Structure 1
Amino acid sequence: MKKKSIVIIVGLAVLVGAGAWLAGRDKQADAGERQGAAGEQSGKSDAKGGAQPPAIVNVVSPQRQDVPVVLQANASVTPVSTVDLHPQTTSTIRKVHIKEGQFVKAGELMFSLDDRSERANIDKARAQMARDAASAADLERQYKRSEELFAQKFIAQSAVDTLKSQLDSARALVGAGQAALQAEQVNASYSAIRAPMAGRVGAINVFPGSLVQLATSLTTITQLDPINIAFNVPESALGDLLAAQKNGAVMVDALAGPQAKALSGKLSFIDNAVDPLAGSIKVKALFDNKDASLWPGQYVSARVTVQTIKNAVVIPQAAIISNTRGTFVYVVDADHSAKQMPVVRLHAFGVNAAVSGLNGDEKVITEGKQNLRPGGKVRLADASAPKSDAKTAVAAQ
């Protein structure tokens, strides 16, 4: 019984193997037929003499022009100086001479404090000084008479010396009285609060009759002309900024809004340290602001021209290719083939870039680059107008 089972199993295995062999032979035959058909089609194509068709591309002619290297940043308007006015004595406000928002000149009277006590102290100091001066004058007369008496040998030298000492002491008292009078005059001057500089007055926090102390804020004065704008630039631009500053004044443009007129100022300050967290450095520019078009705290857009690349070769940025081997462009060679030209991007602005590595008379490929290989044949997309001027691209920017 076991022998019959073994025979049946062996027979089934033989049948399965034979079926697999026949199926494999049929597949090989089909593959051979397909390869033959493909070979016939290829032969027909070769018989017609047709190689791979040229790639269709668009080209531009590089332009030569001066390219300004401009840094753009968001900036805020900051005053050159601002002062928070406080009284230097405890008193009451007698009169307010200014209004909120008023422009004041340096030295203009702004607040008057109650100064009756100070004026009384000045009178007292003057009286004390007059009394000391009278005593000194009397001692001086006595000293002169004693010298005459001593010359006639009516008094001893010790009496003369005593009067001389008393006279010196009286003169010292007169000097002390004079200093005390000046001190009282200084204290009295605190009752008249004047503008320390020209500027615009802010909100006024006191009124006539208000009690003021050292910590009381009366108002603020902010200088508006000239005025600063402050902004940060990347630390990579520090070298260009310092080099430009050595060559002369660095111009800075400020734009307060899309419809606003650009204002021109000069770079006035570069901070002495780079912010290690942000990787930037703070700079300031000084602007004339006679018409008060810039206001403290206002946000503006700042543009700094750090240098100008003279007679630079300008091409569209779309033509530049970057990969692991470097940066290059494709140009159309004399035999209508694609040629790689290595370039260095000097400065990018808008859709264009100033580059080095080109002579300026090449035909640079801008579209169709994805189908190109070095040495591959190319055909211009529009034979009647093969060039798309880079200058047009700049104008359309």
Structure 2
Amino acid sequence: MTDAPSLSVRHKRLIGILLLILVLGGIWYLLSRTPPSAPAFQRGAWNQATPVHVVPAARGSLDVQIKAIGTVTPLHSVVVRSRVDGELLRVHFNEGSEVEQGALLAEIDPAPYRARLAQAEGQAQQIQAQLANARADLELYEGLWEQDSIARQQLTSQRALVEELQGSLKANTAQVEDARLQLSWTRIVAPIAGRLGLRRIDPGNQVSSGDTEGLVTITQMRPIAVEFSVPEPDVPALRRAMAADGELAVQALDRDGRNLLASGRLQTLDSQIDLGTGTLRAKAVFANEDTALFPNQFVNVSLKLQTLSSVITIPSDAVQFGSRGTYVYLVNPEENRAYSRVITLGASADGRVAVVEGLDEGDLVVLEGLDRLRDGREVIISERDGE
């Protein structure tokens, strides 16, 4: 009876050992089997040839330019105001029309000023008559004085009277000139040639020399200026170009930068850099014969500093920046592999940059497909390269 329980224990131990062997064998099988094919495929896809688009480094000319946003500004803008007080009788201009300098614009009632002129002229005539009579008496007194027939005091008094009347005549003559000037100001003429704005007052209203709004504004349209700001880093190159060439060509383009509105020349630079913006104000002048530029219009300004001839250029998008500096990827067409090369850049314009050192004419530079490149990687040149 004691053998049966001991046999049962042995069976249990044997079964436990077998189960342990099975578990250990399963673990060994899972750890030692071949890795799945999906990760291997992914590593192979990363190492396969990368399609790229390349462009050859080209030798040619490059226009070095400064581009900015400018504002069209008239060289002269005048608010036409009355210089005398009175009723506005007539207006002789049409709103928005072109006028020449000296053209009659409006008339103020001249009657009060004609009366003042006549009064001043009458007083001048009266003083002239008094002066003529005093001079005649002075001549008589001088003869009597030589004959010792009058006292010296009487001669002295007559001379003083003549000088007094001469002073009065001179002052009255100035009053006549002032009255004549006031009368001439009742005819309001254009001080400059230009384009008229909207009329601000109608005939029949009283106008005054103290009116701030005035009658109308005249804006000179031809020639016209464009003011723009140049960043401080570009100022030295701009000043060198001005010293070398004198007059620099400037182009004004529309807001989209596609259509050329006018061509002109750089006139002047401001005397100091703005500390708040770090820019220098500049002014260009345009003939504006077709009035394509309008005051306060925003335009894109392109200022040509110089033209670099026979330089190697590449697209700016091909340039990479790293710890080694600026570099590009070149493709060796014999190996179909890409290699990086450090380059030295020069001036840039219109999406292209000059390469001072590091490239030769005809070198194939990678323009697209840069994100997965590294030194020695195999590449497939896109068919667009043949364009």
* TM-score normalised by length of structure 1: 0.78
2:173 is matched with 178
Give the CA deviation at 1:111: 1.0
Matched, 1:96 2:94: no
After TM superposition, which residue ranges in structure 1, 4 or more long, deviate above 6 angstroms? 15-26, 52-56
What letter corresponds to residue 325 of structure 2 in structure 1?
Answer: G
Alignment partner, residue 249 of structure 1: 247
What's the counterpart of residue 155 of structure 2? 160
Q: Is the 8 A contact 2:49 2:377 kept in 1?
A: yes
- Residue 292 of structure 2 aligns to a residue whose secondary structure is coil
Give unmatched runs, 5+ long, in structure 2. Answer: 1-14, 36-46
SS of the residue corresponding to residue 101 of structure 1 reads coil
CA gap 1:280/1:164 in 2 versus in 1, 3 angstroms: same
Secondary structure, counterpart of 1:165 in structure 2: helix
Match of 1:263 in 2: 262
8 Å Cα contact 1:332/1:378 also seen in 2: no
Partner SS, residue 119 of structure 2? helix
- Rounded to whole Å, the distance in 1 between the matches of 2:65 and 2:33 is 67
SS of structure 2 residue aligned to 1:294: coil
Equivalent in the alignment of 2:38: none
Aligned amino acid, residue 234 of structure 2: A
Q: Which residue of 1 aligns with 2:288?
A: 289
Q: How far apart, CA to CA, are the structure 2 residues paired with 1:107 and 1:284?
A: 28
The correspondence for 1:232, drawn from 229, 233, 237, is: 229
- Counterpart CA distance in 2 for 1:163 and 1:278 is 75
1:56 is displaced (CA, Å) by 6.8
What is the distance in 1 between the residues matched to 2:365 and 2:140? 112
Amino acid aligned to 2:185: Y
Q: Distance in 1 between matches of 2:374 and 2:296?
A: 56
SS at match of 2:116: helix
3-state DSSP of counterpart to 1:249:
coil
Following the alignment from structure 1 to structure 2, what is the Cα–Cα distance between the partners of residues 101 and 53? Answer: 70
Unpaired runs of 5+ residues, structure 1, are: 1-14, 36-51, 393-397
- 1:144 alignment partner, SS class: helix
Find the partner of 1:208 among 200, 203, 207. 203
Q: Root-mean-square deviation (CA), in Å?
A: 3.5
Structure 2 distance, partners of 1:262, 1:20, is 90
Specify whether residues 204 and 175 from structure 1 end up closer, same or farther in structure 2 by C-alpha distance, changes over 3 A only: same
Give the C-alpha shift of residue 53 in structure 1: 8.2
**Distance in 1 of aligned mates of 2:347 and 2:234:** 12
Aligned partner of 1:309 in structure 2 is: 308
Q: CA contact under 8 A between 1:61 and 1:388: conserved in structure 2?
A: no
Return 327-336 or 169-178, whichever deviates more: 327-336
Cα distance between partner residues in 1 of 2:177 and 2:18: 130
Instruction: Give the 3 Å change call, closer, same or farther, for CA 17–145 of structure 1 in structure 2.
Output: farther
Moved more, 246-255 or 236-245: 236-245
What's the CA shift for 1:16? Answer: 11
The letter of the residue matching 2:249 is M
Instruction: Report the count of equivalent residues.
Output: 360
**What is the TM-score when the length of structure 2 is the normalising length?**
0.80
1:344, CA displacement in angstroms? 2.8
- CA pair 289-379 structure 1, distance change in 2 beyond 3 A: closer
- The question of whether the paired residues in 1 share the 8 Å contact of 2:50 and 2:372 is answered with yes
Q: Residue type of the partner of 2:248?
A: V
